[in-house]
Amino acid sequence: MDQFINQPVSFAEEERPWRPPSLRKVGMLCLITTETALFSIFVVAYLFYMGKSLNGPYPHEILAFPWSGSIALIGSSFTLHAAEWFLKKGNRAMFHLWWFITIAMGAYFLYFTGHEWYEFIYHHHLTISTNVFGSTFYSLVGLHASHVVVGLILLSIILISSLRGKLHHDHHEHVEMIGWYWHFVDAVWIVVLTVVYILSAHY
């Protein structure tokens, strides 16, 4: 027994390099978790108030499925991916091109939402204070749009710094994290699309 305890212990783990997860990735995952919690409450509020408006306009009267905006935003996840692929290959020109297309698609989505709101406010007279549909619709879609704005700012910072030659090889992870954020914004849009434009469409 004594011998057993006094034997020199070999540490298999000592051989392995000590590499805890990257702090940017963990940080971004935490941010996404907390944003998910925030969005869930607004989604729950929307679902809870579905069909509880006491006066019009009601969702089925004015909501039109946002085809072009959705295609632009969801498509931008793929163009972003293409841009990242070219960055990894070291092809800066193609990276800039696809990154710019991503920004343009995001900007189109924002324009689309703005146009939709304009229609609702000036032609259908639906404001945030009209009824509970207005309150929940503008707060949920507005919260998402504000995240698109932040995403566009982040994407533009990357593009500008890359064009000015300030984006170095060790910034790969920064680019990747902004990509994660953008994918998250897209995923939220799929939820919003389902809840607002499909589930509540006949109320």
Partner 1 sequence: MAHGSSTTPEDDFVITPTRPGEEKGSWSSVIQDLLFTVDHKKLGLMYIGSGLIFFVIAGLMAAAIRLQLAIPNAHFLEPDVFNRFFTMHGTAMVFLVGMPIIFGMANYLVPLMVGARDMAFPRLNAFGFWMFFFSAWFLYFSYFAGPGLYNAGSAPDVGWFAYSPLTSKAFSRGHSSDYWTLALLASGVGSIATAINIIVTTISLRCKGMTLGRMPLFVWTFLVVAFLVIIAIPPLSACQIMLLLDRYLGAKFFDTQAGGSAVLWQHFFWIFGHPEVYILILPGFAAMNEIVPVFSRKPIFGYPIMVGANVMIAFISLGVWAHHMFTVGMTSLGNSFFAISTMLVAVPTGIKIFNWIGTMYGGKIRFELPMLFCIAFLFQFLIAGLTGVMLSVAPFDWQLSDSYFVVAHFHYVLIGGLLFTIFATIYFWYPKCFGRMLSHKLGMWHFWLFTIGFHVTFFPQHISGFLGMPRRIYTYEAGRGWEIWNMMSSLGVILQAAGILIFVWNLIYSYRKGKIAGDDPWDAWTLEWATTSPPPDYNFEKTPEVRSRRPLWDLKHPDDPDWKYE
Would you say 88 or 202 has its CB closer to partner 1? 202
37 binds partner 1 (CB under 8 A): yes
The stretch near partner 1 (CB under 8 A) out of 33-41, 66-74, 80-88, 172-180 is 33-41
10 binds partner 1 per the rule CB under 8 A: no
Supply the minimum distance, in Å, between the C-beta of residue 32 and partner 1: 10
Q: How far is CA 22 from CA 25, 26, 43, 180, in A?
A: 6, 6, 31, 14
Radius of gyration of the chain (CA): 23
Handedness of CA 189, 191, 193, 195 (dihedral sign): negative
User: 135 vs 161, which CB is nearer to partner 1?
Assistant: 135
Residues numbered 57 to 116 that lie near partner 1 (CB under 8 A) are: none
* Residue 146 engages partner 1 in binding (rule: CB under 8 A): no
**Euclidean distance between CA atoms 192 and 158, whole angstroms:** 27
State yes or no: residue 18 binds partner 1 (CB under 8 A): yes
The residue to which tokens 């509020």 are assigned: 45
Looking at 22-30, 96-104, 110-118, 166-174, which segment touches partner 1 (CB under 8 A)? 22-30
Using CB under 8 A as the binding rule, whether residue 201 contacts partner 1 is answered as: no
Element (H, E) at 74: helix 67-89
Q: According to CB under 8 A, which one of 26, 190, 198, 201 is a site residue for partner 1?
A: 26
Looking up tokens 């800066």 gives 92
Is 128 a residue that touches partner 1 (CB under 8 A)?
yes
CA–CA distance, 179 with 159 (Å, rounded to integer): 13
